[in-house]
Amino acid sequence: MAGYEYWDEYGNGITEGDAYAEYDDMLDDVHGDFMGAPASRVLSEWDPIAYDEGFNNFADFMLTDGRWFEQDPTLDDDSGDDD
């Protein structure tokens, strides 16, 4: 993987690791701990398929909600075509 997977509204790159960390934070904030272990760790270790599917849904939500972008939104998209 070269470069960033996603960008925030300010043009800050979000790596895959950053995206997973944000997903883990969301899981932990929403679900808390289970017997002293954070929800993200429990889910990732006990059901890695559900964890990955949840991450994909989380990333899709972040993109459709306009919190993440697939291209840096601060770059000028003008291709130089003046009509």
Gyration radius from the chain CA atoms: 16
Report pLDDT for 75. 87
Closest residue by Cα to residue 16 from 2, 5, 29, 31: 5
Confidence of residue 17 (pLDDT cuts 50, 70, 90): very high
Give residue-wise pLDDT tens across range 18-55: 999 999 999 999 999 989 999 999 999 999 999 999 99
- In angstroms, rounded to a whole number, what is the distance separating the alpha carbons of residues 56 and 79? 32
pLDDT > 50? residue 1: no
Position with higher pLDDT, 38 vs 80? 38
State how beta strands 13-14 and 6-7 pair: antiparallel
pLDDT > 80? residue 13: yes
The owner of tokens 């998209």 is 77
Closest residue by Cα to residue 68 from 27, 2, 13: 13
